[in-house]
Amino acid sequence: MYSSPAITMLTFALGAAALHGFWLSALCVGRAHTRWLSLALLGLSLYLLNYLLFLTGIIRALPNMLGVLFPFVYLTGPALYLFISDALNTDFRFQKNHWLHLLPFVWGWWQMRNVVGMPAQEKMAIIGWLLDPQALLPLRSVLLGNLHIYALLGYGFAAWLLAHRAQKSAENESHQKIARWYRLFALLFIAVLLLDVAAKITFSSLSIPGSNAEYALALLPALALHAVGYYALRATGGFPKIQPEAAPAAKYKTSPLDASRLAVGKQALLQWMETERPYLNSNLKITDLARQMNMPSHHLSQILNEAIQLNFNDFINAYRISEAQRRLKDERYRHLSIEALGMDCGFANKTTFNRAFKKIAGTTPGEFLKKNTE
257-278 pLDDT, tens digit each: 888 888 999 999 999 999 999 9
CA distance 169 to 175: 9
Count CB neighbours of 332 within 10 A.
7
* Residue 317 to residue 347: CA distance in whole angstroms: 8
Q: Where do the domains of the chain lie?
A: 4-232, 248-371
Contact between 70 and 46 under an 8 Å Cβ cutoff? The reply is no
- Residue of 213, 117, 46 lying closest to 126 (CA atoms): 117
Each residue's pLDDT tens digit, 151-175? 999 999 999 999 998 888 776 677 8
Give SS3 for 231.
helix
User: 222-231 burial, b if ≥16 CB within 10 A, otherwise e?
Assistant: bebbeebbee
Domain 248-371: top CATH class? mainly alpha
pLDDT in tens, 107-116: 999 988 888 8
CA-based nearest residue to 127, from 48, 215, 53, 75: 53
Q: Please identify, in words, the CATH class of the domain defined by 4-232.
A: mainly alpha
The torsion angles phi and psi of 223, rounded to 5 degrees, stand at -65, -35
pLDDT average, residue stretch 273-293:
92
| Contact partners, residue 323, CB within 8 Å, separation at least 6 | 277, 279, 280, 345, 346
Neighbours of 127 (CB within 10 A): 19
pLDDT at 158: 95
